[in-house]
Every structure is written in structure tokens, then in C-alpha cells.
Structure 1
Amino acid sequence: MSKDPNSGLILPAERPTSLVTRRNALIGGAGLLLAGCDQINASPTVKSVLSLGEQATHGAQRLVTDRNALAREFSRADMSPVFRENGNRNPGTPEYAALAANKFADWTLVVDGMVAQPLRISLAQMMAAPRRTQITRHDCVEGWSAIGEWSGVPLGLILRRAGMSGNAKYVVFHCADSTNGAPYYESIDMIDAFHPQTILATHMNGELLTVGHGAPLRLRVERQLGYKQAKYVMRVEAVASLEGIHGGGGGYWEDHRGYQWFAGI
């Protein structure tokens, strides 16, 4: 890497973009799961649980929940011996297979939508960017949980680097996989997008993500349930509205299974 952290910065989307700047390099040492759950039997009880709070407005939820509070972080001694792979375990497309065969050397993350400077970020550049590592608990709507260590780039850093518009209200994560023929995607609002524990993770438990856990990049938004943790992220899009994006519900499970969009814990 060049000694000048700003050298080689390429703002247009045609080429990969460095995330290292003089400003964020200073915070690089601050250090301070899974894309949905397996399809479950939609019993009346499960449907009732998944629709809790459906009639409450997002504004009302903010009144009773500190959205800026940190999720609990654990020690390495607390980490689960097994962290399940669930949701899709492999996108299963020729395009993804080619990327995986080359160890994702040709993979790039697209950042676009309501931004001043669309970005294309290579995996090598993601690795070189300021990072955050955290040990947190993943809670699944199936009723299980697991504690694991995640390391990656804070989403807020990337959005600021792209010059996100103040009129954007949501961030949409477009993924390489699909379920039952429908593209997998998820979305969060700006409170979660800029939460310090919201990261785009490249590592789990000290190792590069495996294919089953979402390689090469997955979302960790620690104040939400497991189905919000999109895997195989290929594109991050800033938008003013979720209308017109696939089914309009803000995510695959929201569109096709009636899960609530805000899954805060």
C-alpha cells in the first residue's frame, strides 16, 4: 500500500475505490449471520411472533427503544463451538462459482444510488480499510442463537466515503443469491446504517468468511434479528424509498413470508 493513504483514490464507479483516507486512517485502530433463517413451518404461533409490532409505527418503536444503544459484546471464551450455516449456503450461480474459484480476487462491491461518488471496492481494498472486530450473539427467529466474532468495515465509513445524500432514508443490500427464484435482498434505515456495530464483515472467528457463511462479504447489523444479516452482498444502494424494489417490503422474507421489516432486538 502506498504511504500516502489518498493515493490511487478513484471516485468514478468504473474502477475499485480505496476506502483509506487521511481522516479514516486515524480511526483504523479504534477497534473499539446469516442471510435469513431456514424456511420454517409457518404455524399460527410462528406467524403471530413474526408479526409482533406490525401495527406499531417505526416512530413509536423509536420512542420505546434506544436505537443507538450497543448490542452486548462477549469475550472469546463465550464463543459458540458451532455456528450454524443457515439460509442459503451457496448462491449456486455460474457467476458466483467463478468468483469463488478465483478466491474472489475479481469481486467488487458496488456502492451507488443516492450518493455523490459511486464506488467499486475490491476485496483487497476492503481488507486494507479501517476495521472493527466484535463478538456478538446472533438470534434467529427459529429460536436458536450463537455467539461469534465478526470483523469488517463499518458501513457508515463506506457511506460517508461515497458522499451519501442527506435525502436518502434507507440502505438496500443486493445479494448474489436467490430463494425460490426471487433475488435475495435486505434493507435498513439510517439509524442502523450508521450504528457503530453495523459492519460489512469479511471475517468470522478470525478466518475469512466461508461460502456457507456468506463469502466474501456479509452484513452484520447487531441490533436486529438474524434474517436481516444479508450474506453474499454485491451491491449497497442508498434510496429514499423501498417502493418499487422487488416486492416493496424491504427484504426477501418481508416480501414473501410476511416478516416485519423492523426486526430490532
Structure 2
Amino acid sequence: MANDNDRKRRPGDRPDARRRRVLGGLGALGATSLLSGCDWTQSQAVQNFLGHTEKLTQAAQRLVASREALAPEYDKSQIAPTFRPNGSINPQTPAYQQLVDSNFADYRLDFHGLVDNPMSFSLAELKAMPSRTQITRHDCVEGWSCIGQWTGVVLGHLLDRVQPKANARYVVFHCADHLYGSPQPYYESLDMIEARHPQTILAYGLNGGDLPVANGAPLRLRAERQLGYKMAKYVMHIELVENFAHIQGGHGGYWEDRGYDWWAGI
């Protein structure tokens, strides 16, 4: 398994300090006003704060760090005994429950949209591909963090297989869960730079075992330079697009359609 440990950053490095400052600014607004990326509402103060920082943090991250600059990785001794589940913990659609009952034997991950080579992969096929294991910290806008060990296939490897078209700008993750009874399923997106980042993986393992249902089985996105609401769980199919105009609310994600900023880099 490829860990790139020789390139691993320690918690004291500058990118981690910048992450703490961003989260500290959010915390200063008050945890009760955030309501987590797990509530329908968001205070105007939070919207204003995120709106002012979105372009600044995106520009700063892209100017200061290289495209492959790594988020901090941690030692095994720092892994939380239980990785905190959040949001949906067991989608109740019949299709998803059938997958759970079969231990995901019938699961297929489809790539479609702006690709030259549309493909479909079983979970077994994904597990047979070169994998990456990384111990990273999940930072939620609720104000909590949790360190876990994730194992999965590097998304960039799959993108190489499906061959994005020249006008593909975003990778959209369509999910099985309907958060808070929404009629439309959860979805999220990344641009091509973050999608091809070496720490962006589709995780099927957590803390040395199979990814639990509560944490997003069979596949969960891990984009380690992003806040937690970007980490889509229960990924069912992936679409490459030029823009978001035809997808749900048109802003690139479930929470983005409800006022959150699309850029959540930290």
C-alpha cells in the first residue's frame, strides 16, 4: 500500500497551523450558529464569513502550495478508537439496503459524463487496484475533529482509466443517502486539481477494517485538503461535467445548494 511516508507532513507544519486558524475563525462565530453542515439553516454571520474567505483561501492554497502539497498525516497512536459518524448513518432506500444485505457483492461504481472511456467497477475490482493508506484528520464545521486511518483507491488512478474529456472541469459524486428526508440524494464535487490530488481517495477501509455503513460503505470520498462536508459518503456513481447547471440546485453540492461555499479548502 502506498503511503508516501517519506513525504508525510507532521502536525506542526505550517499547513496544519493554517487549518487551525481557519477552524478557529469559524469557532469564534459560535458553534451554535454553525449548526454543522448537519442542519438546514446557517446564520448570516457564517454565510458572510465563509463568503469572504472562500476566494481568499482557494487563491492562497493554490498560490502557496503546490498541486500535490499534502495535508498532515499522523501516527497510528493518534487514531481515534471510534471514528465519529455524522449525517446519514444508514440510508434506507431499498436499493441501498439490498447492497448491504449482499455485503456489496452487487455494487458497481459507474463513471459517466465527459469521459472518453465510461467504465464500471465492482468493489472487488476497486480493492484489487493499487491502494493508498493515510492517517488524517477530519475537520467538521461543527467544530469537532477526528483522526482515522483510511484505505482506498486513488481517484486519479481511476480518472486515468476513464480519460476525462478536455472540457471536463469537475468531478461529481452522486450518493445513496437522502439527508434529512430530502427527495434528492446527497452529492458533492471537486475540481480536477483536488480530484487528482494524491491524498484524494475513494476509501473502502477504515482503521484496518472494512468501511462501516455508518461511515459511508461501500465507498467514501476522502479529499484531505477539504472540510468534512465535502467528504461524500455512500458514493454510487461519478459524473464528470463542465458545470453544475443541470445537477440539483446548480451549486456543486447538497450543502452548497443550501448556502455553503463550494470551496472548502483548509
TM-score by length of 1: 0.82
Partner of 1:17: none
Partner of 1:259: 260
2:224, 2:166 → 1: CA distance? 24
1:142, 1:38 → 2: CA distance? 8
Amino acid at match of 1:75: D
Partner of 2:104: 104
Amino acid at match of 1:148: G
Residue 199 (structure 2) pairs with residue 170 (structure 1): no
Shift of 1:127: 1.0
2:136, 2:154 → 1: CA distance? 15
Q: CA 1:83 to 1:48, structure 2 compared with 1: closer, same or farther past 3 Å?
A: farther
Partner of 1:76: 76
Amino acid at match of 2:202: L
Amino acid at match of 1:232: Y
Amino acid at match of 2:251: G
Partner of 2:223: 221
Residue 235 (structure 2) pairs with residue 233 (structure 1): yes
SS in 2 for 1:100: helix
Partner of 1:212: 214
2:265, 2:97 → 1: CA distance? 33
Amino acid at match of 2:260: Y
Cα deviations across residues 38-58 of structure 1 (Å, max 9, x unaligned)?
227633443344334246595
SS in 2 for 1:177: coil
Q: CA 1:57 to 1:203, structure 2 compared with 1: closer, same or farther past 3 Å?
A: closer
Q: CA 1:44 to 1:239, structure 2 compared with 1: closer, same or farther past 3 Å?
A: closer
Structure that is richer in helix per residue: 2
Contact kept in structure 2, 1:40 and 1:142, CA below 8 Å: no
Cα deviations across residues 10-38 of structure 1 (Å, max 9, x unaligned)?
xxxxxxxxxxxxxxxxxxx4332xxx842
Shift of 1:231: 0.2
Q: CA 1:48 to 1:204, structure 2 compared with 1: closer, same or farther past 3 Å?
A: same
Contact kept in structure 2, 1:107 and 1:123, CA below 8 Å: yes
Segments of 5+ residues of structure 2 without an aligned counterpart are 5-35
1:31, 1:73 → 2: CA distance? 10
Amino acid at match of 1:252: Y
SS in 2 for 1:53: helix
Partner of 2:131: 131
Residue 93 (structure 2) pairs with residue 93 (structure 1): yes
Contact kept in structure 1, 2:2 and 2:133, CA below 8 Å: no
Amino acid at match of 2:183: G
Shift of 1:176: 0.7
Segments of 5+ residues of structure 1 without an aligned counterpart are 1-28
SS in 1 for 2:255: helix
Q: CA 1:225 to 1:55, structure 2 compared with 1: closer, same or farther past 3 Å?
A: closer
Residue 113 (structure 2) pairs with residue 113 (structure 1): yes
Cα deviations across residues 141-170 of structure 1 (Å, max 9, x unaligned)?
000000000000000000101112232111
SS in 1 for 2:141: coil
1:41, 1:113 → 2: CA distance? 32
Partner of 1:186: 188
How many residues were matched structurally?
A: 233
The Cα RMSD (Å) is 2.0
1:243, 1:43 → 2: CA distance? 26
TM-score by length of 2: 0.82
Amino acid at match of 1:30: A
Query: Share of identical aligned residues, percent?
Result: 55
Q: CA 1:59 to 1:244, structure 2 compared with 1: closer, same or farther past 3 Å?
A: farther
